C-alpha cells in the first residue's frame, strides 16, 4: 500500500513537472500577437548604444513573426531625457516604447505602465521568460514599489581597461589594487619623446556628464556614502577629498591629455583606441569597440579588471548601468509593446544579439555563460563576477539624481583643472546639492529616507 502511494505521488509530481514544461514550451509569439497584427509600434531609441543600432535590424524578425510593424526614432543621448519629459508631461501619444537609461528611471515612473499584469496574462506572458536570469541589481533599476517597468536589454559597469603590452613593457605584472597605485601606474606608464607626450598614463572623463561617475567608483571603493538618512550630502569628507586629489594630480601633472575636459565615455574610448593612453576608467561595454580591428588600433592588446578599491571589505562599489524599453501610459498599442519587450529581452533574442552583432553587454547570466558567446569578450567574466558578488550598486533612486550629478560636477571639473582645491570643490559641491534638495522640499519634515533613495550600501 505504501509502495502504491509512493508511486502515485511520484506520478503526480511527474505530471506537475510535465505540465510546467509543456506550459513553458507552449508560448507561441505568433499566436499571442494575432489580435495586434497590423499595428505599428513607435519607439524612441537613444543614439550611441550599439544594441539600439541592432534593434531596427533584428526587429525585422519580430515583424515577420507577428505582423506588428516597427517605427524608430533615434535621439541623441543628451537630448533624450528632455524630449521624453516634454512628451510625457503633455500627454503625447507619439510613442509606444521609450528607450531609457535606468539612471533616469525615477523621473519616468509616474508616466509608465508596469509590466506585471502582462507577465501574468496567459495570452501575453511567456512562462519561459525566467526573470531570475537577469542580473538582480540591474532588474531592480526598473522596479518601483514592487512593480517591474522594464526588462534590461543591456548591462554594464565601470571597469579598469588597460594595455597589456604597455604593462609588460614597463614591468607591471598585475593591475593596480588601490586608487593611489592607479596614480602611480599612470605616472610610470606615461611616455614622452622629444619632450612630447606620446602615450598618456590614463584618460579621464572630464566632461560634466562624466566626472561624478568616475569619482564615485574610487569613493565607494573606500566605503564612502553619498547621503545620510536625512538625504543630506555625506560626501564632504576626507575620503572624497583624497579621491579628488588624485583625480586632479592625474590631470595637472600631465598624465591625462588636456582635451579630457571634453571627454565622456565615447571620446575617452576613442582616444584609448588610437593607442594614446595606457589605462582608463570606462564602462565595460566600450570593450566591444576596442576589440573591433576596424575601429581600434589596440584590439587584442587590451586587458580588463575590476576597478581598484582601497577598502577590500567594501562589496558594492561600481555603479551598474543599463538601457531598457518602457511603455508610457499614453501608448496606443500597449499589449503589442509588451510582446516586443518580452521578445527582445528573451534568452534567445539576447543571445542572438551577442552572437551575431557582438554588442558586448548581456543582461542575462545564461547569455554570459552560453558557449556561443562566453569567450567573445575578455570582460564578460567581470560582468558575471560583479553581479554574483553584489559588487554593483544602484545610484540613489530619487527623481533629482541627474541634478545631483550635474551640480556636483561643476565644482569637480574646476578642481580637475586646478581652479579649485579638492577641499573647496567637495565643500561647494555638497552645499550646492543640499540647497537643491532643500528647494525641492526633502528636508521639510526632517524625516528619514530609505536606503533605496539615499543609495546607501553596507
**pLDDT < 50: residue spans in the chain:** 1-24
Strand order in the sheet with 279-283: 279-283, 158-163, 302-306
* Burial of 396: CB neighbours in 10 Å, binned 0-12, 13-18, 19+: buried
Determine the structural domain holding residue 82 and report its residue range: 26-149+321-393
In terms of domains, do 288 and 195 share one? yes
**Residue 40 forms beta bridges with which residues?**
69
| Predicted local confidence at residue 25, as pLDDT | 56
- The reply to whether 4 falls in a domain is no
Domain termination site, one of 261, 291, 319? 319
- The reply to whether 333 falls in a domain is yes
In this structure, how many other beta carbons lie within 10 angstroms of the beta carbon of residue 86?
A: 10
- The reply to whether 434 falls in a domain is no
| Predicted local confidence at residue 8, as pLDDT | 47
| Predicted local confidence at residue 104, as pLDDT | 92
Give the residue among 122, 250, 112, 118 at the shortest CA–CA distance from 179: 250
In terms of domains, do 124 and 199 share one? no
DSSP summary character for residue 328: B
Cell matching residue 145: 514599489
In this structure, how many other beta carbons lie within 10 angstroms of the beta carbon of residue 72?
A: 15
CATH number at residue 280: 3.40.190.10
**Residue 305 forms beta bridges with which residues?**
160
**Residue 303 forms beta bridges with which residues?**
162
- The reply to whether 368 falls in a domain is yes
User: Is there a contact between 368 and 376 (Cβ–Cβ < 8 Å)?
Assistant: no
User: Is there a contact between 138 and 155 (Cβ–Cβ < 8 Å)?
Assistant: yes
- The reply to whether 422 falls in a domain is no
User: Which pTM was predicted?
Assistant: 0.90
* Burial of 270: CB neighbours in 10 Å, binned 0-12, 13-18, 19+: middle
As a whole number of angstroms, the distance between CA 251 and CA 416 comes to 7
In terms of domains, do 130 and 232 share one? no
In terms of domains, do 52 and 144 share one? yes
The C-alpha angle 388, 221, 276, rounded to 5 degrees, equals 95
Q: Report strand pairing: 191-193 vs 196-199.
A: antiparallel
- The reply to whether 275 falls in a domain is yes
Give the residue among 157, 140, 136 at the shortest CA–CA distance from 216: 157
User: Is there a contact between 127 and 360 (Cβ–Cβ < 8 Å)?
Assistant: no
| Predicted local confidence at residue 209, as pLDDT | 87
| Predicted local confidence at residue 78, as pLDDT | 83
Stated length of the chain: 458
In terms of domains, do 39 and 119 share one? yes
- The reply to whether 17 falls in a domain is no
| Predicted local confidence at residue 160, as pLDDT | 98
Q: Which residues of 173-195 are buried (b: 16+ CB within 10 A; e: fewer)?
A: eebbebbeebbebbebbbeeeee
In terms of domains, do 101 and 210 share one? no
3-state class of 144 per DSSP? strand
Q: Report strand pairing: 196-199 vs 143-144.
A: unpaired
* Burial of 134: CB neighbours in 10 Å, binned 0-12, 13-18, 19+: buried
Domain termination site, one of 393, 413, 445? 393
In terms of domains, do 205 and 274 share one? yes
In terms of domains, do 208 and 304 share one? yes
As a whole number of angstroms, the distance between CA 355 and CA 284 comes to 17
As a whole number of angstroms, the distance between CA 317 and CA 457 comes to 9
Q: Where are the beta strands (DSSP E) in 173-240?
A: 191-193, 196-199
In terms of domains, do 90 and 209 share one? no
Domain count, the chain: 2
3-state class of 247 per DSSP? helix
Name, in order, each residue with C-beta under 8 angstroms of 66's C-beta and a sequence gap of 6 or more: 29, 30, 33, 36, 37, 336, 339
What is the sign of the dihedral through the CA atoms of 256, 262, 268 and 272? negative
Residue that the C-alpha cell 507619439 belongs to: 94
- The reply to whether 8 falls in a domain is no
Domain termination site, one of 358, 377, 393? 393
Give the residue among 252, 127, 226 at the shortest CA–CA distance from 429: 226
In terms of domains, do 290 and 332 share one? no
In terms of domains, do 347 and 250 share one? no
| Predicted local confidence at residue 50, as pLDDT | 87
Residue that the C-alpha cell 506588428 belongs to: 68
In terms of domains, do 222 and 352 share one? no
Amino acid at each position: 500500500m505504501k509502495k502504491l502511494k509512493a508511486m502515485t505521488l511520484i506520478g503526480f509530481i511527474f505530471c506537475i513537472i510535465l505540465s510546467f514544461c509543456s506550459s513553458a514550451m507552449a508560448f507561441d509569439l505568433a499566436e499571442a500577437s494575432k489580435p495586434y497584427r497590423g499595428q505599428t509600434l513607435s519607439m524612441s531609441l537613444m543614439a550611441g548604444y550599439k544594441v539600439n543600432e541592432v534593434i531596427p535590424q533584428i526587429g525585422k524578425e519580430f515583424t515577420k513573426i507577428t505582423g506588428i510593424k516597427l517605427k524608430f526614432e533615434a535621439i541623441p543621448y543628451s537630448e533624450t531625457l528632455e524630449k521624453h519629459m516634454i512628451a510625457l508631461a503633455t500627454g503625447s501619444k507619439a510613442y509606444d516604447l521609450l528607450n531609457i537609461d535606468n539612471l533616469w528611471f525615477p523621473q519616468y515612473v509616474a508616466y509608465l505602465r508596469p509590466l506585471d499584469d502582462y507577465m501574468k496574462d496567459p495570452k501575453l506572458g511567456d512562462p519561459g521568460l525566467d526573470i531570475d536570469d537577469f542580473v538582480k541589481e540591474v532588474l531592480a533599476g526598473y522596479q518601483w514599489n514592487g512593480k517591474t517597468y522594464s526588462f534590461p536589454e543591456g548591462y554594464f559597469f565601470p571597469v579598469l581597461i588597460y594595455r597589456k603590452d604597455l604593462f609588460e613593457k614597463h614591468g607591471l605584472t598585475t593591475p593596480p589594487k588601490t586608487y593611489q597605485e592607479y596614480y602611480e601606474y599612470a605616472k610610470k606608464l606615461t611616455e614622452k619623446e622629444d619632450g612630447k607626450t606620446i602615450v598618456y598614463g590614463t584618460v579621464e572623463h572630464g566632461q560634466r556628464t562624466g566626472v561624478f561617475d568616475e569619482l564615485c567608483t574610487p569613493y565607494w571603493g573606500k566605503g564612502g556614502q553619498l547621503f545620510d538618512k536625512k538625504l543630506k550630502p555625506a560626501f564632504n569628507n576626507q575620503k572624497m577629498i583624497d579621491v579628488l586629489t588624485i583625480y586632479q594630480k592625474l590631470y595637472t601633472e600631465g598624465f591625462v591629455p588636456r582635451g579630457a575636459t571634453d571627454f565622456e565615455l565615447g571620446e575617452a574610448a576613442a582616444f584609448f583606441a588610437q593607442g594614446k593612453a595606457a589605462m582608463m576608467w570606462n564602462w565595460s561595454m566600450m570593450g566591444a569597440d576596442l576589440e573591433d580591428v576596424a575601429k581600434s588600433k589596440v584590439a587584442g592588446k587590451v586587458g580588463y579588471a575590476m576597478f581598484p578599491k582601497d577598502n577590500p571589505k567594501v562589496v558594492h562599489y561600481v555603479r551598474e548601468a543599463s538601457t531598457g524599453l518602457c511603455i508610457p501610459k499614453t501608448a496606443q498599442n500597449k499589449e503589442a509593446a509588451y510582446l516586443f519587450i518580452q521578445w527582445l529581452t528573451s534568452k534567445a533574442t539576447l543571445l542572438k544579439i551577442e552572437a551575431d552583432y557582438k554588442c558586448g553587454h548581456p543582461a542575462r547570466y545564461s547569455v554570459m555563460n552560453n558557449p556561443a558567446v562566453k569567450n567573445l569578450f575578455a570582460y564578460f567574466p567581470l560582468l558575471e563576477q560583479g553581479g554574483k558578488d553584489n559588487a554593483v550598486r544602484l545610484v540613489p533612486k530619487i527623481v533629482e539624481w541627474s541634478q545631483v550629478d550635474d551640480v556636483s560636477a561643476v565644482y569637480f571639473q574646476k578642481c580637475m583643472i586646478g581652479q579649485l582645491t579638492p577641499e573647496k570643490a567637495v565643500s561647494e559641491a555638497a552645499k550646492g546639492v543640499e540647497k537643491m534638495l532643500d528647494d525641492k522640499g526633502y528636508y521639510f519634515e526632517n524625516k528619514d529616507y530609505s536606503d533605496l533613495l539615499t543609495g546607501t550600501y553596507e
